[in-house]
Amino acid sequence: MKQVYLDNAATTQVHPKVISKMQDALANSYGNPSSTHSFGRTAKTAIESARKTIAKYINAQPSEIIFTSGGTEADNMILRCAVRDLGVKTIITTRIEHHAVLHTVEELEAKGLIELQYVNLDAYGNPDLLHLEELLKSNGSKKLVSLMHVNNEIGNKIDLEQITLLSKKYDALVHSDTVQSLGHYEWDVKKFPIDFLAAAAHKFHGPKGIGFAFIRKNSGMSCMISGGSQERGLRAGTESFHNIVGLQEAFVHAYDNLETEKKYVEGLKRYFIEQVRKDIPEAKFNGHSADMEKSTYTLVNVCLPITEDKAMMLLFNLDIKGIACSKGSACQSGSDTGSHVLTQILSKEDMKKPSVRFSFSTYNTREEIDYTIKVLKDIIES
């Protein structure tokens, strides 16, 4: 059976060079990085080399890169510590953030630790900057703005630089979940004064279970996980050395090949959109996912003209044909409550139809897209 993996927004295939690097680390660099003997020093040196390398690519200082278990931990660390350590009393976000952010801020609100404010969205799911400014002006509390750079379900890409500068006008801190964009877009944290970012290696062909937080120097944060002095005292626990070197290898590959791979993946997305419009003209693209300027080049989200009874079996039938995709975030794939993102932007009628996210990488081909469109068309017409 043909196998087509179009769920790269959920996770990506690990690059062979990353696997090789990690295998070597597991076999030969097994010292505890906190140990003072040569085995430990070797591991520690490699970790600090990875930190410096990542910092160089985003124009940060090495001390501003804190390794975590992934994007979810990075988001949690930043949001919780900002409230606990930095005096944040109000968090401004949207209702279409990743649940790593939404569930965290909802919990902080439920405990009475913050006031939670939501920025209005337009019909495509973009934050209303005029409303954001109104919220920034309201009450005199210390504020943090948390808006994701690229939405993981519909692919909308916000102007994070403009949002950061607007927020700084009112002395607000700024955090962004950049899990869907770090590794896919160039970054320079010195260009605009964003305070916090979150990244995950498995979104750009690295291993799962490793990511990092960018935390601006002298932020005033203290540790979220206690027990040791690792990660500048912000995250205790023996470092996952093999994962860190895997992250480094994936990050270097992503940025050294960024323009070439971006051009290729952009071509796949354009081709997918063209073929859907030609063969399934009643399909609609959600958010700005069909706009190459206003959305990421890595994914599309399509509302398909399928009846409710067929919709329930759509992903199953695609899987039977060897096609992997997602109805939304992989983190909620077991949920039957529907997408919290699409609920905010689609009509009740369109919410009854299946919306599917297809996401691409350099491992995909046009032939795979042709096959996928044919299968979708057959399901719709059957």
Query: Residue 182 to residues 69, 91, 174, 319: CA-CA distances in angstroms?
Result: 16, 23, 16, 29
| CA–CA–CA angle 55, 143, 103 (5° rounding) | 80
> Amino acid identity of 213?
A
Could you give the 3-state DSSP secondary structure of residue 175? strand
CA-nearest of 255, 371, 280, 266 to 324 is 371
Query: Residue 84 to residues 13, 108, 113, 353: CA-CA distances in angstroms?
Result: 37, 10, 9, 43
The full 3-state SS of 195-231, as one line of letters, equals CEEEEEHHHCCCCCCCEEEEECCCCCCCCCECCCCCH
Q: Which residues pair with 357 in a beta bridge?
A: 301, 326
The set of catalytic residues is 331
Neighbours of 334 (CB within 10 A): 6
Output DSSP code: residue 250.
Answer: H
Q: What distance in Å separates the CA atoms of residue 112 and residue 134, rounded to the nearest whole number?
A: 23
